[in-house]
Amino acid sequence: MADNSSAQPAKIHNAQYLRRINKVLDYLDEHYAKSLNLQLLAEVANFSSFHFHRIFKGITGEPLNKYIQRIRLEKAAHRLKYDLSESITNIAIDCGFSNSAAFAKIFKQHFGMSASQWRSGGHSIDSKNRQALSNDGQDCTISAMYIDQITQQYTWNISMRSINKATVTVKQLEPCTIAYIRHIGPFIGEAQTWRRLFDKLTHWTASRGLLKCPGSEFYTVFRDQFEITDFAKFKADVCVSVEPGTQGEGEVGVTTLAGGKYAVALFEIDADQYEQAWGVIYSQWLPNSGYQPDQRCCYEKYLNDFRTHAQQKHIIEIYIPIKPL
């Protein structure tokens, strides 16, 4: 009989490494613009600074300095696209670059064009994932904004031939504690992977008495920008709401889903219409809304089990962090 006594400890150790490196990725998402050094980030992960950079590359596939530079560039590219009132130099400094000359050189090397070319429309040409993403919103009509008499929230109705129900509401949300398992890589068309990750997360929360029915809420949080980050490096977290103070374990981390102002789009869709729903929000609603997206993460919230729906429909909310134009 084969001796598998070392298999389970190895799996546990690997999960611990993933969780500790994910803590660093979460830290960098929040503090990417600050002065960062190897010692500080090694302490976040609770690894020796002598070994940390090798462990980071081994798990993420990118050297630490390259990862930090890429995140800063992608944050800057997002702001260049949407924050049109801010100068390129100020955006560069705000995103952690020491000066505009260094930023200009690195930006062109990464995106193949200058920052000004990117801002003036080049982003639509360079989009890393253009073929994978749907921008189908040509068959939709969006109502004028009105104030819902019950919720007193700004609301828009979306009419589409192919989607039964859609509304967008602007909401002010409180922060929420979530447990998560992180996926790095392509996610479109990965329904089986998502089911496996959610099953694993559900079993983890249930076995610790953290799962509530009703009460627990399930999300996918997108840590990178759809049209900027290469899908091979894209971070997405499958998540469930948990009580504040919950501690992560193994590959399950715990973090806070940021509060603030969001556009919340409610859809009732088929399994193959997720990209279309996102496309409608970005190509049709957002440009005419008076808002622009900010640097917080977008996410999806799942409101039903599609298997119990008479038409197998997925009822979801898409959350876009926004600020005034």
Beta pairing, strands 165-173 & 146-147: unpaired
Task: State both tokens at 87.
Answer: 């100068």
- Asked if residues 294 and 321 have their Cβ atoms less than 8 Å apart, the reply is yes
Percentage of the chain beyond pLDDT 90 is: 62
Please give the Cα distance from 220 to 222 (Å, whole number): 6
Closest to 135 (Cα-Cα) out of 263, 274, 283 = 283
Mean confidence (pLDDT) of the chain:
88
- Examine the pLDDT at 10 and tell me if it is beyond 60: no
**Mean pLDDT across the stretch 230-235?**
92
Please give the Cα distance from 241 to 219 (Å, whole number): 8
**Mean pLDDT across the stretch 261-274?**
93
For residue 126, what pLDDT is reported? 58
For residue 6, what pLDDT is reported? 43
**Residue 250 burial (C-beta neighbours within 10 Å; 0-12, 13-18, 19+):** middle
Please give the Cα distance from 78 to 293 (Å, whole number): 9
**Residue 231 burial (C-beta neighbours within 10 Å; 0-12, 13-18, 19+):** middle
For residue 146, what pLDDT is reported? 84
pLDDT in tens, 156-208: 888 887 787 789 999 999 999 999 999 999 887 788 899 999 999 999 999 99
End-to-end CA distance of the chain: 67
Task: Output DSSP code: residue 86.
Answer: S
φ/ψ of 194, rounded to 5, equals: -65, -40
Least confident of 9-13, 148-152, 195-199: 9-13
For residue 46, what pLDDT is reported? 92
Please give the Cα distance from 12 to 251 (Å, whole number): 8
For residue 268, what pLDDT is reported? 93
φ/ψ of 255, rounded to 5, equals: -150, -175
Beta pairing, strands 140-142 & 253-257: unpaired
**Mean pLDDT across the stretch 253-262?**
96
For residue 13, what pLDDT is reported? 54
pLDDT in tens, 17-50: 999 999 999 999 999 999 999 999 999 999 998 8
Instruction: State the pLDDT confidence band at 279, using cuts at 50, 70 and 90.
Output: confident
pLDDT in tens, 84-143: 889 999 999 999 999 999 999 999 999 999 999 999 887 776 555 544 554 455 577 888
DSSP 213-281: TTT--EEEEE-S-TTTS-GGG-EEEEEEE--TTPPPBTTBEEEEE--EEEEEEEEEE-GGGHHHHHHHI
For residue 182, what pLDDT is reported? 96
For residue 128, what pLDDT is reported? 54
